[in-house]
Structure 1
Amino acid sequence: MSDAAQPGAAEVRAAAEALKNALDRHLEAVERRSAEVGDAADAARAEAAVHAAFDELAAAGEAYDEVLYDVYDEVTPFEIPGGDSMPPYAGPEEPGSLSVLVRRDYTVVEPQRLMAQAQRVTALDPDSADADEEALEGPFAGSGVHAALSVLFGEYEPDEIATRHGEFGLEEGDSTLWVIAGEEPAEPGEWLASPFEAADPERVVCRFDVSAVFDEEEDLYDEDGGGGPGGR
């Protein structure tokens, strides 16, 4: 990028003004929602306006933070989470059922350790080895990572694997948990063919994310006295 294209003081001031305006619009939307006395449709529109203003505020805050750092090597003392990761909630007000969807990522960093742990399981419980061998239509634990994974995830609960992942030759990655609202409980076996089609972001009541990127962001802000000049 040429020097002429680099942002300067004027761009920082413009971003600051945009952030101030976004703050005003967000507050106005919140105040309108608080004063809303109409029907459910009016309340829904007021709620949507708050979400839209929040997204605008988040974008303006991020833009200001970026240009402030580029020009002055400085950061803001606050962080506005991005609001565009999830849409506004559009599920039932009183859920009749809940679905809990969990994703945990792992890297297989020590395949031999993974297969050795699976061998220990099958040595203690030969019946589990027979079951996994039949399901895989091939050799069981000790002869391949796929078979070892089948043995271990069949033997241990996912939460236990998450706690002991290092023992199994795995390295933990990102994870997320979504709680999704539904109207009626599903019939037995109804969703087994497509278990994750219910992952509708508009029905998410709450979610919990774990990622190394969050730790990295905290470390960047903690450098040089916790987010002061050059602390990004």
Structure 2
Amino acid sequence: MSDAAQPTAAEVRAAAEAVKTAIDRHLAAVESRSGEDDPAVYEAFNQLAAAAETYDELLYDRHDEVTPFEIPGAEEALPPYTGPEEPHGLSVLIRRDYAVVEPQRLLAHAQRIEAADDDDEGSEASGTVHGALGLLFGEYEPDEIASRHKEFGLEEGDSTLWVTASDEPADPGEWLEAPFEQADPQRVVCRFDVSAVFDDEEDDLDDEDLVDALDEDLEPLDAER
């Protein structure tokens, strides 16, 4: 970063004061919380996270230094549930990412699908990757593709599944034009995430850490003997 673009010492100091204020506000909200999912605590948490992130960035830009703590961003946590206590409907929202790592394998599968379909005589959809993907997902259910992705020349990326609650089931055809537009994080009953990031975190444990973890797990068993 150039000197001209660097924040001033006063800006860094002001950001530090904002963090102090946000800490006081968060503590006050926690001390006076009205329940487990008090929205005031959630809002104070987000304000603290934003203030800490701003201070960390300015501190680094000005002094090439970082803070010794990390507060997860608001996008990493679900907000308090505000949906119906007794939902009469639900929606299951699924996103799965794949990388096309073996295009020829994908194309070969698409050609076999095309050859077996008498209605597609003369079609050349299997000659392109996007056409082959259309044939693949038209032939197989998404769950089957997920279980056989390597066979189709695909590599799994991140995936997430959200179960959201609704007051009443949607009318037929009501949301088909924009299926994910009204996904409300505050109506998520539960969610399940799969990512290589989690595997990387487990791989970061060295042998000594694993031994310590196993020892901790075994301690209650030893005490019972």
Which residue of 2 is the match for residue 182 of structure 1?
166
Contact (CA 8 Å) 1:96, 1:184: kept in 2 or not?
Answer: yes
Contact (CA 8 Å) 2:79, 2:186: kept in 1 or not?
Answer: yes
Which residue of 2 is the match for residue 25 of structure 1?
25
The 3 A distance-change label for structure 1 pair 206 and 63 is: farther
Percent of aligned pairs with the same residue? 69
Which residue of 2 is the match for residue 48 of structure 1?
39
Residue-by-residue CA offset, 1:193-225 (whole Å, 9 max, x unaligned): 43435423442334455667x68x98xxxxxxx
Match of 2:103 among 93, 106, 111: 111
What letter corresponds to residue 84 of structure 2 in structure 1? P
Q: Tell me, what secondary structure is at the counterpart of 1:33? A: coil
Contact (CA 8 Å) 1:115, 1:141: kept in 2 or not?
Answer: no
After superposition, the CA RMSD in angstroms is 3.9
The 3 A distance-change label for structure 1 pair 157 and 15 is: same
Residue-by-residue CA offset, 1:60-115 (whole Å, 9 max, x unaligned): 11112212333443433433222268665432133232211112334445433211
What letter corresponds to residue 49 of structure 1 in structure 2? A
Which residue of 2 is the match for residue 57 of structure 1?
48
Shift of 1:117: 1.9
Which residue of 2 is the match for residue 15 of structure 1?
15
The 3 A distance-change label for structure 1 pair 10 and 208 is: farther
Q: TM-score, normalised by structure 1?
A: 0.64
Q: TM-score, normalised by structure 2?
A: 0.66
Q: Tell me, what secondary structure is at the counterpart of 2:138? A: helix
What letter corresponds to residue 152 of structure 2 in structure 1? F
Taking the aligned partners of 2:113 and 2:4, their CA distance within structure 1 comes to 65
Contact (CA 8 Å) 1:101, 1:178: kept in 2 or not?
Answer: yes
What letter corresponds to residue 23 of structure 1 in structure 2? I
Superposed counterparts of 1:201-216, under 5 Å: 201-208=185-192
What letter corresponds to residue 28 of structure 1 in structure 2? A
The 3 A distance-change label for structure 1 pair 73 and 30 is: same
2:98 maps to 1:98: no
Gaps of 5+ in 1: 37-42, 219-232
Taking the aligned partners of 2:107 and 2:4, their CA distance within structure 1 comes to 58
